[in-house]
Structure formats: C-alpha cells, structure tokens
Structure 1
Amino acid sequence: MSTDLFIKGMTYGWNSSRGSYRQPYAKESLQELRATGSEWIALSFYTFQNNVYSTEIPFDYGYTMTDRDIEHAVKEAKALGLKVCLKPVVNSKDGIWRAHIGFPEESGAEPYWDEWFRSYGNFLSHYAELAEELGCEMFCVGCEMVKTEAKHEHWIRLIERIRGIYSGPIVYNANHGSEERIKWFDHVDLIGTSAYYPVANKPGDSEEAMIANWLPVREKMASLHAKFGKPIIFMEIGCRSALGCATMPWDFTHTELPVSEGEQANFYSSVLKAFWDAPWFAGFFWWDWSVKLYDKEEAHLNVGFDIYGKKAEQVLKAWYAKPAREGLIGEEIEA
C-alpha cells in the first residue's frame, strides 16, 4: 500500500447500546464529527466471549450491534462523505482486558488455540463480508490482542481467510509497547497501534515536553516501517480532558480527576506536530467520538475522551484543515 495514504480519522460507535446507531442523535453526532474535518471513521463495536479462556465467541442479541445497526451507521457516514474502517472487537465478559485472551503456553494448549482462532475467524469473516457488501474502505482484523500475537501461523492463516472475503486494505491494531514483538505485520496492509504513550512528565505538562517524549516513539515507528515496509497508523490515539491524563492516556477510570482541557489539547497538538509530516505515517483514528454527545454548553465539565466543544477540537480542526504532510514541523523534531 502506498504511504501517500493519509487518514484524518476519528473512532465512532464504541460502547453504544444496540439500536443507538439508528437514533436521531447518532446522525447529529456524525454531522458534528464531520465538522471537525475528519474524513474517516473507525466504526468500532464489540461482542463478548465469556472469559479470557473461552474458545467460543457468541452473538448475543441483547447487546451486540446487529447488521442493521452497522449498515445504517455506514450508510449515514458515507452520506456525509466519510470513509469507513469497520472495526469489530472481542472483549471478555469477566472484565479482564482483551490483551489477556488466550491459553497457557504449556503442553496441550494448542487445541484450545485452534478452537479459539476458528471461532474468531468465523466472527471476523461475518463482518468482513459485511464490510465488503457495504463498501467499507478498510477492515481491522484485531485490536490489542496481545497474548494471541505470538501465534504467528494462526494469524497468517486468519488474514489469508479474510482476504478471500474482503478486497480492501487490512489493518491490525496493536497495543503501544507491543508493536515490535509482532512478526506477521508483513501480511497486513497497514500497521496500526493504540498510541496511548505516556508523554507527559507531570500533570498539566507543556506541549514542548510532550513533543520531546514523542520523539523516541517516532523513531520506533520509523524503524517498524523500515522493517516491514508498511504505513504506520495510530488506530487509537487520545487522552481524556482531565488533569494528569497525558501521563496515562489510556485511562478511563479516574473520573474524579479535575477537568483540564489544556492538557488534552497539548496532547493532541504535540502528537500532530510530531507525526504529521512523516512520509511513512498514515494518520489518526482519535479515541473517541460518542454516538450521543453531551450538550456543548457542558463541554467544560466533561472529563471524557470526547473533544466536542473543547480546546482539543479546535486544535484538531486547524490541523485537519491542512493538506496532509504540510504541517508545522519544527527542526527540533525532524527525523
């Protein structure tokens, strides 16, 4: 895939109840998302397996998005001129992070891996078929499934299976810090990662300090591109508008932290400046944009990942209004 691709994207659809994509507020939310200058959405939804050791991934009509939901969201997005990366995700009902889905590496574990990849392959194939039918411009085959990533041959066979169904580009979403351990990135079209790197040294840190901490990340991503020859994309990137969240951008639990629109805005600005012009970099899917937005007048009270009505939204709008690869990169952050 050409590294000329540059995605001005946003994640949409996460943690929404079945049927919510088809509500009037969802259409209004997509319109506001488009107004940021975003050109893509990662339509991200999930189902559950019972626990991290389960080998079956069921469909539960009670909470899993239906094909009607997904079709509606894709068509609404396309009507606004947005391109779509379909991103189905498997979580664990026991509350353990999906990175731990897998089986002990000991004698007798392989049949369990075979069974899990069979079920996961069926799960993905269903949505790959849907992505093909709906004309989705990209398909994500996995998100932060760290423990599974060592199963090299299983992943190669899985990706080959998906390519027999879906004709567009395929991406895998690694987790920050685990990218360099994956050996099968040559089988996808884009290397994705959840770039929740802790770039602030302290709560309320400056943009300059964050840029300095992005530089080694940039070097690591450049090396990853050089190794596999694939564009790098931040499939997830962002932090909450709460004091200290740039020291732990992945955090969604510490809701007691005070509001800090400035820290969130500095996080956005710093990574945009650090990566925008890298010729091997394919763009961003920011985390995330809610299907049902809060009232704009309440943005200054919100401590979530959303940027609607916040300082970070203005930062992103300014950058997304620029042509790709013509950002304001200072000499101090040139590769």
Structure 2
Amino acid sequence: MTYGWNSSRGAYRQPYALDSLRKLRDTGSEWIALSFFTYQPTVHSTEIPFDYGHTMTDRDIEFAVKQAKEMGLKVCLKPVVNSADGIWRAHIGFPEEEGAEPYWEAWFRSYGNFLAHYAELAEELGCEMLCVGCEMLRTEKQSARWRELIRRIRGIYGGLLTYNANHGKEEGIDWFDEVDVIGTSAYYPVAKKPGESEEAMVKRWLPVRDKLKRLHQRFGKPVAFAEIGCRSARGCATMPWDFSHTELPASEEEQANFYRSVLKVFWEEPWFAGFFWWDWSVRLYPLEEAARNVGFDIYGKRAEGVVREWYSKSR
C-alpha cells in the first residue's frame, strides 16, 4: 500500500495515523511505500528547496518508518518532487537543445542533493527500498545524468532501488538496467464503459502483462506496480488515474472488479514483484462512510475484501 501521501507535517505522529497503519497491516499487506513530496517553484525551476512550511520533517519520516517496522511491514521510501505552479511533475524540464544544458545540469545537481538526503535517511532507518523518482517524463531522456545519479545514490544506500515510470511510457526509459526493480504507475484504462465486468477488464490486462513481460526480458529486472488503483466511483476504471470527477456516483463493484482483475492476471507471473496500491490515507474516514466514499481508499469497501482474500494466499 502507498501510505502517507498528501499528509500535513506532523500527521504521521498522530494517534489516527497509527490506527490507520494497523488497519493497513491487517489487510495482509507486507509493504508500504511511504510517499511524501516537496515543491519546486515551477516546472522550469533549477532549485528544489526545503519548504519549512510544508515538507515532511525527518522526525516525521523516522517515526512512520519505525512504527511500520514494529508492525512487521517493509518500507519503500518514496520522496517526490511536485511543482508549486500546479503543473504535473512529468513536465519538469527544459528544452531539448544545447542551450538548455546548464539548466539540466543545475536541476540534476539540486535533485541529486534532494535524493541523497533521503537515501542517507533510508539507509539509517533500514528501509528495504528507495524510489529514486516518480513520473518525471521529461527528465527520463537524460540517460547519462540518471545513470550518474543512481550510481551516486548506490554509494549512500545499500537497499533495493526502483524508479516509478508512468503507464504507457515504460519502454521509453533506456536506463532501467541501473535499478533493481522496474516500477510503473499502472493506471491502465481497462474498462471501456462505466460498470465494466471483471471478465472484460481481465482481457484488457492481458496485453499490458505481455508488454511488461517484454520489458522484464529486455532488462532482466522484476517489474512492480509502484502505483495502481482506481477510485470507488462509477466509470473510474475507464480512467483509473482520475481524482477530479468527484461528482461521479459511488461504485464499490467497479473498484473491486479493477482490483480482482489485475490480481488474477499478474499474481502467478514469476517476473512480477507486486503491487503498491494507491492509496491508504493516514487519516481514514469512519467505517460507516465507506459506502459513500468515492476516493482511492479501499478501507471498508469490497476491494479491501479482495485484497484480504488474495493476500491470505501468500501466508
């Protein structure tokens, strides 16, 4: 499960967060991706500052990691850079021309320092995995710089490294040989219409499975879904990435079909490393509100039952 996203500073250390983490563990999940973000001012900025009003403190992260480990969970530390101008981080970058080289150099220097800080923290806290980047599409063509950065991080952190590509763009990254696990945000639209059946979704997952198997064969690395999920709202399996259409009616069934279909297709694949479901909130809604909740969370919904059923098979 992804845990910690979009939380305010100090939230990890609240009683409701510990209650949420226990409920996450009780689904049978074995890992959390502890995911938090900081901002750079715009997608064209070259500096990534520490925002003392927003960015999670190291004390927050240390507390969450230690609590997770005490509960028997493994941790993938996932620091993310977003853009304060509201533009998706996939657009962070500069023109593909010679004159932009100094800007790329400056940005990778700043991002490298940002990532090195969390690599050191992940090493000190014994995190089992570190995610070195998330959906940073425009940067991904800077292959030499990514290779240099990952090698720098390996000098600091001794655990597993992954990079979180975006769905449909995985094949454009030629430096996946540098990481231990190929990650992707698997928000594939496996429904063509609202209320699609599980069987129809299974059929649409099959070519995705075959494509990702070829990616595994190309690099010799396992593949994991660094993010995957859809909201419990009617039509969301047609656009699993969506978080904005809050007017859609609740549909636990469509969310459960999405979960069950992808589990069926990928569960037995030996090259497939697993799922980081998106997401599990630090502060959960009351259980009696689950049927009306149209977010990504599965707490108290049919999809939670699906996860519990499948995860019990691995015990």
Q: Same fold (TM over 0.5)?
A: yes
Give CA deviations for 1:290-318 in whole Å, capped at 9, x if unaligned.
00000000000100000000000000000
Q: Which amino acid aligns with 2:274?
A: G
2:195 paired residue among 197, 201, 204: 204
Residue 107 of structure 1 and its aligned partner are, at CA, apart by: 2.9
Q: Which amino acid aligns with 2:109?
A: R
Aligned to 1:157: 148
Aligned to 2:178: 187
What SS class does the counterpart of residue 321 from structure 1 fall into? Answer: helix
Write the distance in 1 (CA, Å) between the matches of 2:31 and 2:135.
21
Counterpart residue number, 1:176: 167
* Pair 1:25-2:16 in alignment: yes
- What is the distance in 1 between the residues matched to 2:48 and 2:275? 29
Long gaps (5+) in structure 2: none
Deviations 1:13-43 (A, max 9, x none): 0000000000000000000000000010000
Total equivalences in the alignment = 315
Confirm whether residue 307 of structure 1 aligns to residue 292 of structure 2: no
Equivalent residues in 2 for 1:218-229, closer than 5 Å: 218-229=209-220
CA RMSD of aligned residues (A): 0.6
1:61: how far off? 1.2
Structure 1 residue 323 displacement after superposition: 2.0
Could you tell me how far apart the structure 2 residues matched to 1:43 and 1:245 are? Answer: 25
Percent identity between matched residues is: 76
For the residues of structure 1 that align with 2:138 and 2:9, how far apart are their CA atoms? 29
Q: Which residue matches 1:271? A: 262
Q: Residue 127 of structure 2 aligns with which residue?
A: 136
Moved over 4 A (4+): none
Q: Which residue of 2 aligns with 1:259?
A: 250
- SS across alignment from 2:182: strand
- Look up the SS of the partner of 2:242 in the other structure: coil
Code of the residue aligned with 2:10 in structure 1: it is G
- Deviation string for 1:85-117 (max 9, x for gaps)? 000000000000000000011231011000000
Deviation of 1:84 (Å): 0.2
Equivalent residue, structure 2, for 1:292: 283
- The CA distance in 2 between the partners of 1:262 and 1:110, in whole Å, is 50
Is 1:95 matched up with 2:86?
Answer: yes
- TM (norm. structure 2) is 0.99
Residue 108 of structure 2 is aligned to residue 117 of structure 1: yes
Q: How many angstroms apart in 2 are the aligned matches of 1:69 and 1:267? A: 33
Partner of 1:5: none
1: CA distance, partners of 2:271 / 2:59: 36
Q: Determine if the alignment matches structure 1 residue 242 to structure 2 residue 206.
A: no
- Return 5+ residue gaps in structure 1 as ranges: 1-9, 325-335
Alignment match of 1:78 (pick from 69, 73, 80) = 69
Give the residue type in structure 2 aligned to 1:141: V
